[in-house]
């Protein structure tokens, strides 16, 4: 029989929970904003949705049903209004990031790494960014072009060995995996002067890629209920037991230690990121501490390898699903007479290649999570007329925004690279303005002062590698009638881009 004190305690706790849920539901200032009923009570709704691995699709469907402003949590409002991008993510908005970034922070030997991507307020972000910003300028990154050339040459050689030449001819190529090997090896060489060795091995070494995948899945899910992170990876007791949560953090720390001890001199053909970070430490010792140095290198590997490989995979997937686009791109590369490896300057001069890349990043943005900000003390008035009270979390998801018909046209749900090209009846001024309007809501690499610092290095890899692959190979989907599987953590990862590869020569 249940005792009286136990029953009273249970009723008391239940009453507190019920009151909390009711207060959540009737949060001041948010009651009139439409959205799923269950989401109003608890962030558990978002957490469960994130765990399903298809959050970007959920957001597209919700905005299609409810409109540009949707309540998806007790204190969370999602906005898919092009006119609100600058208000929420722009420089003048100056809104802080939310606790959703906490799960992005790695720990090493019991200390949290002050990751640039997880800096919540703009002043801290600017302070951490300033010493190393020059290392990511486009002019500086062009010094890595030879590194891209070396890595792309190795990728082509290994693809031929494994899937094209001799007895390997006709084997199915998991191209999504090899593109990840390429981006990982490139960023390893660019950061530390040494490749990880994924392309040579043809496999995930020490499960580093698998570890990264799990970390991004964790970030995508736990970011919706950040207090869970405090119980798990930010739990001091667990940190004491598990000094380093993954091999990747250990690896970057080891590389720094070896460099400082003089065991590794870095890339003799260029000036790697670690060298630039060490120079920044000499110039800004108050900011670039040893733990900050580890955070810079760790962020480089985490952010640059996964999102770039996802973008490369998405581009190949989209053009193979639209064979006319593939053929047109191949014809442009053939007619241009560019030499391989293609220079970045030459690649940028190919208008259809440029259109294909932009359209893929619009149609299949690599980021699947919401870009969250906290409404400031003065509140936020949206272009739609709603006013959000201070402290409200407001988010923008790239997927519904990138399909806004008022910006991208009635065919926004279709993959059409030609939308980025000038039509025969369009003036140059009109075309330039139309493209600017599309780029104003382009969130693939974030937006405003908190945009991805490494987007230029991603573009360097993308613009150079795609024409090399398409110009030298005929690629075809193994399962053309089956849409590839995806899973969303932070990035929207394509899990099974299986292709056949055939060698080709120009004009074939």
Q: List, in order, residues 6 or more apart from 440 with CB less than 8 Å away.
A: 82, 85, 86, 407
Phi/psi of residue 381, each to 5°?
Answer: -95, 120
Residues 6+ apart with CB under 8 A from 186: 147, 148, 151, 195, 461
Instruction: Report yes or no: 319 and 329 within 8 Å, Cβ to Cβ.
Output: yes
Q: Which of 151, 112, 443, 456 is nearest to 292 (CA)?
A: 112
452 is in an annotated binding site: yes
Instruction: Please tell me whether the peptide bond between 215 and the residue prior to it is cis, using omega within 30 degrees of 0.
Output: no
Two tokens at 432? Answer: 């330039």
Both tokens of 79, joined, read 């906005």
Q: Quick check: 37 and 66 in contact, CB under 8 A?
A: no
Angle at which helix 175-192 crosses helix 247-260, to 10 degrees, equals 30
Classified as helix, coil or strand, 342 is coil
Distance from C-alpha of 45 to C-alpha of 239, rounded to nearest angstrom: 29
Instruction: Tell me which residue has tokens 């004491």.
Output: 240
Q: E strands of 288-419, at which residues?
A: 371-374, 380-381, 387-388, 393-396
Q: How far apart are CA 416 and CA 196, in angstroms?
A: 37
Angle between helices 208-222 and 247-260 (to 10 degrees): 120
473-477 and 76-79 strand pairing: unpaired
Q: Which residues are annotated as a binding site for heme?
A: 452
């Amino acid at each position: 029989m249940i005792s009286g004190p136990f029953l009273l305690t249970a009723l008391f706790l239940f009453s507190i929970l019920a009151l909390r849920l009711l207060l959540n539901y009737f949060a001041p200032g948010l009651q009139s904003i439409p959205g799923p009923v269950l989401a109003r009570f608890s962030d558990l709704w978002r957490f469960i949705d994130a765990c399903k691995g298809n959050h970007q699709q959920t957001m597209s469907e919700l905005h299609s049903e409810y409109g540009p402003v949707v309540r998806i949590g007790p204190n969370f409002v999602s906005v898919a209004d092009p006119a609100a991008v600058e208000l929420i993510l722009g420089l003048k908005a100056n809104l802080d990031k939310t606790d959703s970034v906490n799960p992005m922070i790695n720990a090493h030997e019991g200390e949290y790494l002050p990751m640039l991507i997880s800096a919540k307020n703009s002043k801290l972000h600017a302070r951490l960014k300033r010493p190393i910003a020059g290392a990511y300028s486009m002019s500086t990154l062009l010094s890595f072009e030879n590194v891209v050339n070396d890595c792309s040459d190795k990728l082509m050689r290994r693809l031929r060995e494994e899937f094209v030449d001799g007895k390997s001819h006709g084997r199915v190529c998991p191209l999504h995996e090899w593109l990840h090997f390429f981006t990982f090896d490139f960023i390893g060489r660019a950061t530390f002067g040494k490749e990880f060795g994924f392309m040579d091995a043809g496999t995930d070494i020490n499960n580093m890629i698998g570890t990264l995948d799990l970390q991004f899945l964790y970030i995508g899910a736990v970011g919706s209920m950040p207090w869970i992170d405090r119980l798990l990876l930010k739990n001091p007791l667990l940190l004491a037991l598990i000094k380093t949560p993954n091999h990747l953090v250990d690896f970057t720390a080891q590389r720094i230690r070896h460099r400082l001890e003089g065991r590794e001199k870095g890339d003799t053909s260029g000036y790697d990121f670690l060298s630039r970070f060490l120079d920044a430490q000499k110039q800004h010792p108050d900011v670039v501490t040893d733990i900050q140095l580890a955070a810079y290198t760790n962020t480089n590997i985490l952010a640059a390898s996964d999102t770039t490989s996802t973008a490369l995979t998405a581009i190949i997937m989209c053009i193979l699903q639209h064979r006319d686009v593939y053929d047109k791109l191949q014809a442009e590369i053939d007619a241009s007479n560019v030499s391989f490896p293609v220079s970045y300057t030459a690649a940028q001069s190919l208008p259809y290649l440029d259109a294909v890349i932009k359209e893929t990043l619009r149609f299949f943005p690599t980021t699947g999570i919401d870009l969250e900000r906290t409404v400031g003390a003065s509140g936020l008035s949206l272009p739609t007329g709603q006013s959000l009270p201070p402290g409200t979390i407001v988010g923008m998801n790239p997927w519904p925004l990138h399909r806004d018909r008022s910006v991208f046209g009635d065919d926004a749900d279709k993959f059409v690279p030609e939308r980025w090209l000038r039509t025969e009846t369009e003036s140059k001024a009109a075309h330039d303005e139309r493209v600017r309007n599309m780029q104003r809501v382009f969130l693939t690499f974030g937006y405003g002062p908190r945009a991805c610092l490494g987007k230029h290095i991603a573009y360097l890899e993308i613009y150079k590698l795609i024409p090399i692959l398409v110009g030298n190979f005929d690629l075809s989907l193994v399962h053309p009638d089956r849409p590839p599987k995806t899973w969303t953590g932070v990035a929207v990862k394509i899990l099974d881009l299986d292709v056949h590869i055939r060698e080709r020569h120009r004009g074939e």
